[in-house]
Amino acid sequence: MRAVGYTKSRPIDDPLALEDIEIAEPVLRPRDLLVAVEAVSVNPVDVKVRMRAEPETGHKVLGFDAAGTVQAVGEAVTLFEPGDHVFYAGDITRPGTNAALHAVDERIVGPKPVSLGMAEAAALPLTSITAWELLFDCFDLVEGEGSGETLLVIGGAGGVGSILIQLAKVLTGLRVIATASRDETRDWCRRMGADDVIDHRQSLPGQLAAMGVEPRYVAALTASEQHFDAIVELIAPRGEIGMIDDPKGIDIAKIKQKALSFHFELMFTRAMFETADMDAQHRLLTRVAELVDAGRLQGTAVRDLGQMSAETLRQAHRLQESGRAIGKTVLRGFA
């Protein structure tokens, strides 16, 4: 079957950074779905894996977000059947979705929102899972609560920020302040529902102090190492910090004086370790689809680069590497 993969980490402008290839169809495990991939989106993790994880042999296939139609099911599957339309973010330990067919455990799959096309739906799973787990697992928030408290979202116009702002406003009583540094990203954050937008190129503590705000919750979605000292200064005592990137130089002891809680969020953890609550991702994606279909959440797809190929995926990776992407970039499946 058709796929896009790579054999060695290379700069994205190298034609061999991603190649059109033919690979064998996946073999299903007992709880797997075989999905005909009809759309994918690209996330920062695609770039990170491409640049850091070289395959031992052959080609490695990337891709996590996907939407498509179930073609076949494993012998122990109970949640879906052939013909169902689904969306999901996959498992980082298994071959990716940049392929015509993809095998995925049903416990991390949700029913595709009926109101969205495949490409729009493919923009949502990874970021929705990450944002949901930040709010309700890491920060231990409860739906309908949080009134009087503030959430600061550093990097509000990216994929995770776009859905985190929305989930916080739709499902909690939090005031949401997002950071953005350009007119178009500030406008996007407001469109997603942010109550206020400040500039992460300026002093975050200074801007918040001028507003009379001391956030209890801080989601650092990008450049967290750069902003760490500012976060410790601006956050309320006994506050909660959540990070999703890979800081290398933070001094965790700095959070002791304020008795802060620190959380790393990785949405692949449940699938990687087959945790007892692995099916929580099925349930939360089902809920996200319901919220989308009820008109309470809006899609975050901004760019549709057309049909998936090595060329269009290189274009999507290049855009992701630029650091200027707003929302999500999507591609459609192979013809």
Q: What's the DSSP call for residue 250?
A: -
Query: Average pLDDT, stretch 40-58?
Result: 93
pTM of the prediction? Answer: 0.97
In 129-183, DSSP assigns E strands to 150-154, 175-179
What is the model's pLDDT at position 144? 94
Q: Per-residue pLDDT tens for 289-307?
A: 999 999 999 999 999 999 9
Calculate the average pLDDT of the chain.
97
Multiple choice CATH, 127-264, 3.40.50.720, 3.40.50.510, 1.10.1060.10, 1.10.540.10: 3.40.50.720
Who contacts 151 (Cβ-Cβ below 8 Å, separation ≥6)? 168, 174, 175, 176, 177, 215, 216, 217, 218, 219
- Please write the tens of the pLDDT for every residue from 87-102: 999 999 999 999 999 9
User: Six-digit token pair at 309?
Assistant: 């190929």
Write down the pLDDT at residue 199.
97
Per-residue pLDDT of 220-244, as tens digits, reads 999 999 999 999 999 999 999 999 9
Range list for CATH 3.40.50.720 in the chain: 127-264
The CATH fold of domain 2-124+274-332: Quinone Oxidoreductase; Chain A, domain 1 (3.90.180)
**What pLDDT is attached to residue 89?**
98
Whole-number Å distance between alpha carbons of 148 and 150: 7
CATH 3.90.180.10 residue ranges of the chain are 2-124+274-332
In this structure, the number of other CB atoms found within 10 A of the CB of residue 226 comes to: 14
CB-side exposure of 210: number of CA atoms within 13 Å? 8
